[in-house]
A and B are shown apart, each in its own frame.
Chain A
């Protein structure tokens, strides 16, 4: 599952504005998705996102990190923490993934204490609404896209494959959904703020489904130039794409401009080949 993680979406939820004319079309775009995930009942969501200077400051900037703790609290981003449930992790699976990907030569940072910001909680709200408890365990996977250089698209795609391998070698049979979040075209800073490039976004979505290798070759500067300085978040969609099979089925797509400063994109993909399941 891929989607943008615009902070204003969280604010709209938390302030009960989901029915207003501005927000209603955006939340309608996730009606199908909420049903899809409710039917699927995942045990675990691996949530790829970027921390927006909440858990990590300029003191410490991990390129690829994995939350291995039992729980993660919503961060106070300057207006108090979002009123959403505490995120429950899956330390055992997280430790397994960490070991597996590090032995696969991805030098992951292991995080045993961190707060999670809107980058993580907004996608959860969009998919699960406002429950008292999140309905599954969540592994936060923050990626640096704030200070140059972020990991390349190719590295992200390969990292996704390493996660797939790790998950498949786990001893327990779990139903896992991976969220790759952020984007799409947007720029939040300077005189060019407000940039949207729907043509770029559409090509990105099409290619991510059918030709992810092509997307993995997009260089840093092309994201920035064509789709805005903050569109670089889209490399995180390649991590979730890499964790799927080459052949995928596009289950659902939604695209909407504007969502605050951002082009909101949303994609649900499933492996064409169903992985064999042991008895639950």
Chain B
């Protein structure tokens, strides 16, 4: 964790639904505003629950994505399989799981990628009891500690 770095400013125009909602480090909570923002990303992911749609997507990903009125940024994040970016842009992990499942990837593989670890390093961390809560509770707290 980059200790000196300040907590990132809140997203433009975003209102926290309750105080402290956006204060949990390394976490993007899915609320109604993000649900609006990511609606088409998440609906695209849902479409992959049908085998014929998976086949069509695989044949030409970019063309398939054009069917969904999402932003260019969102399309690019999907094509690059940039999971953190998709979440920032309103994607939800359970919806994204349709995409990575149809890619043949597991939750653990994708979790490793999101944290910047290799799958081996991530699996090792989990075997040792997982990521510790200490120092991971609050952006504000991390900031104060410096």
Residues of A within 8 A of B (CB): 7-8, 11, 52-54, 57-59, 75-80, 146-149, 185, 187-200, 220-221, 224-227, 229-230, 257-258, 260-261, 263
**Chain B residues with CB below 8 A from A185, complex form:** 130
**Chain B residues with CB below 8 A from A226, complex form:** 133, 137
Contacts A77-B97, A146-B92, A192-B27 hold; do A57 and B18 have CB atoms under 8 A apart?
no
**Chain B residues with CB below 8 A from A227, complex form:** 133
Q: How far is B93's CA from A147's CA once the two chains are assembled, in angstroms?
A: 11
A79 lies within 8 A of B101 (CB): yes
Q: How far is B98's CA from A7's CA once the two chains are assembled, in angstroms?
A: 13
Residue of B nearest to A7 (CB): B107
B114 lies within 8 A of A191 (CB): yes
| Chain A: minimal CB distance from B127 (Å) | 6
Residues of B within 8 A of A (CB): 17-18, 20-21, 24-32, 35, 38-39, 42-43, 45-46, 48-51, 54, 83-84, 87, 92-95, 97-102, 104, 106-108, 111-112, 114-116, 122, 125-127, 129-131, 133, 136-138
| Chain B: minimal CB distance from A7 (Å) | 7
A194 lies within 8 A of B17 (CB): no
Residue of A nearest to B88 (CB): A190
Q: How far is B100's CA from A257's CA once the two chains are assembled, in angstroms?
A: 24
| Chain A: minimal CB distance from B15 (Å) | 13
A194 lies within 8 A of B92 (CB): no
| Chain A: minimal CB distance from B65 (Å) | 16
| Chain B: minimal CB distance from A11 (Å) | 8
B133 lies within 8 A of A77 (CB): no
B137 lies within 8 A of A76 (CB): no
B102 lies within 8 A of A78 (CB): yes
Number of A-B contacts (CB under 8 A): 159
Given contacts A53-B97, A80-B51, A230-B93, 5 further A-B contacts (CB under 8 A): A78-B97, A193-B26, A229-B27, A258-B130, A260-B126
| Chain B: minimal CB distance from A252 (Å) | 23
Q: How far is B30's CA from A190's CA once the two chains are assembled, in angstroms?
A: 12
A224 lies within 8 A of B97 (CB): no
A192 lies within 8 A of B25 (CB): yes
Residue in B84, B98, B99, B131 whose beta carbon sits within 8 Å of that of A195 in the complex: B131
Residue of B nearest to A50 (CB): B94
Q: How far is B132's CA from A181's CA once the two chains are assembled, in angstroms?
A: 24
**Chain A residues with CB below 8 A from B21, complex form:** 148, 221
A190 lies within 8 A of B84 (CB): yes
Q: How far is B106's CA from A133's CA once the two chains are assembled, in angstroms?
A: 28
B92 lies within 8 A of A257 (CB): no
**Chain A residues with CB below 8 A from B137, complex form:** 225-226
Contacts A57-B43, A192-B26, A226-B133 hold; do A148 and B17 have CB atoms under 8 A apart?
yes
**Chain A residues with CB below 8 A from B30, complex form:** 146-148
| Chain A: minimal CB distance from B91 (Å) | 9
Contacts A53-B46, A146-B94 hold; do A194 and B131 have CB atoms under 8 A apart?
yes
A195 lies within 8 A of B48 (CB): no
Q: How far is B94's CA from A146's CA once the two chains are assembled, in angstroms?
A: 8
| Chain B: minimal CB distance from A175 (Å) | 33
A191 lies within 8 A of B102 (CB): no
Some 23 contacts from A to B, beta carbons below 8 A apart, are A53-B42, A53-B45, A53-B98, A54-B49, A77-B97, A79-B101, A147-B32, A147-B35, A149-B31, A189-B87, A190-B87, A191-B116, A192-B136, A193-B111, A193-B114, A195-B133, A196-B129, A200-B133, A221-B18, A221-B24, A229-B24, A230-B93, A258-B129
Residue of B nearest to A187 (CB): B27
**Chain B residues with CB below 8 A from A59, complex form:** 43
Q: How far is B87's CA from A149's CA once the two chains are assembled, in angstroms?
A: 18
Contacts A194-B111, A194-B122 hold; do A77 and B101 have CB atoms under 8 A apart?
yes
Q: How far is B13's CA from A81's CA once the two chains are assembled, in angstroms?
A: 40
Q: How far is B112's CA from A189's CA once the two chains are assembled, in angstroms?
A: 10
B20 lies within 8 A of A58 (CB): no
Residue in B17, B26, B106, B131 whose beta carbon sits within 8 Å of that of A8 in the complex: B106
